[in-house]
Amino acid sequence: MSGIYERILKHHQNGRPQLAVLIDPDKLVPDALTTFAKDAASLGADLILVGGSLLTTDRLNPVIRQLKENTTLPVVIFPGSIMQVSAEADALLFLSLISGRNADYLIGNHVIVSPILKQLKLEPISTGYMLIESGRPTSASYMSNSFPIPNNKPDIAAAHALAADYLGLKQLYLEGGSGADEPVPDSIITAVRQVTNLPVWVGGGIRTPEVARQKVNAGASVIVIGTHFEKQAGYQQVANFAHAIKA
């Protein structure tokens, strides 16, 4: 499958919000994974993300393969490190952690992994990744050794978004962090959308269809949900969230 970014951009330009379901390959058992993959498209998911800030098993490849065997949806790697690459996936979020000042996550790791991505023919989608403060330290901020942007400073978030646009990045990801206490505030999303027309992904701590809708109303193009489906609601709930954000 190719042209994943083109699909995302087209939906964004047509004002059609998308739902991405994040799968942590350490967590989902094979049977549940197959059931989810078979149902995901009809439940209303648009994309499946796979990855995590810290993976403690070697299951990335088999999980992606299993997903690909059971769904027609794009399977996109959301890498927590350069170890998270796989030829089995359709694309990879090529994240530049622009909210931080850790050179490894701005350019260093990209140099190391780019020749591998070229060999694997994995579509890299350049993404300005912005950690937004969400109540307490998250795995993403800890593992990347970087500070998030204060969640009461939309002007700082907007300046980062504008810089990412001027640098030629293709989309933005506003990240509260997996299982965040508080999702990314509407004021941050709106401020970012005021300065750029790039697709804006929003994830971290979204637990209700109402909040997902609220983030779309604030300007989110793609809503990412992982923890709520994995730990509480179950994947049949994808339908309620998809319905809410597309209503």
Looking at the Cβ atoms of 117 and 140, the one nearer to ligand 1GP is 140
- When binding is defined by CB under 6 A, the residue of 224, 238, 242, 244 that contacts ligand 1GP is 224
Nearest distance, CB of residue 61 and ligand 1GP, angstroms: 20
For 200-203, the CB contacts below 8 A with 24+ separation are: 200/161, 200/171, 200/172, 200/173, 200/174, 201/20, 201/127, 201/171, 201/172, 201/173, 201/174, 202/173, 202/174, 203/20, 203/22, 203/173, 203/174, 203/175, 203/176
Nearest distance, CB of residue 140 and ligand 1GP, angstroms: 6
Q: If binding means CB under 6 A, how many residues of this protein chain bind ligand 1GP? A: 14
Closest CA to 168 of 123, 140, 128: 128
Check binding of 22 to ligand 1GP (CB under 6 A): yes
Chain centre distance of CA 123 = 15
Check binding of 200 to ligand 1GP (CB under 6 A): no
Looking at the Cβ atoms of 124 and 205, the one nearer to ligand 1GP is 205
- When binding is defined by CB under 6 A, the residue of 212, 220, 225, 242 that contacts ligand 1GP is 225
Nearest distance, CB of residue 205 and ligand 1GP, angstroms: 5
Q: Are 21 and 237 in contact (CB under 8 A)?
A: no
Check binding of 205 to ligand 1GP (CB under 6 A): yes
Check binding of 180 to ligand 1GP (CB under 6 A): yes
Closest CA to 82 of 70, 94, 99: 94
Binding positions for ligand 1GP, 120-179, rule CB under 6 A: 175, 178-179
Closest residue to ligand 1GP: CB criterion: 203
- In sequence order, the β-bridge partners of residue 202 are 174, 223
Encoded tokens for 210: 């109402």
From 57-65, 185-193, 222-230, 236-244, span contacting ligand 1GP (CB under 6 A): 222-230
* Cα–Cα distance measured from residue 205 to residue 176, given in angstroms and rounded to the nearest whole number: 7
- When binding is defined by CB under 6 A, the residue of 113, 158, 188, 206 that contacts ligand 1GP is 206
From 30-38, 161-169, 189-197, 221-229, span contacting ligand 1GP (CB under 6 A): 221-229
Looking at the Cβ atoms of 2 and 236, the one nearer to ligand 1GP is 236
Q: What angle do CA 217, 219, 223 make, to 5 degrees?
A: 85
Supply φ then ψ for residue 94, to 5 degrees: -90, 85
Half-sphere exposure of 28 (CA within 13 A, CB side): 29
Check binding of 227 to ligand 1GP (CB under 6 A): yes
User: Which residues are near ligand 1GP by CB under 6 A?
Assistant: 22, 175, 178-180, 203-206, 224-228
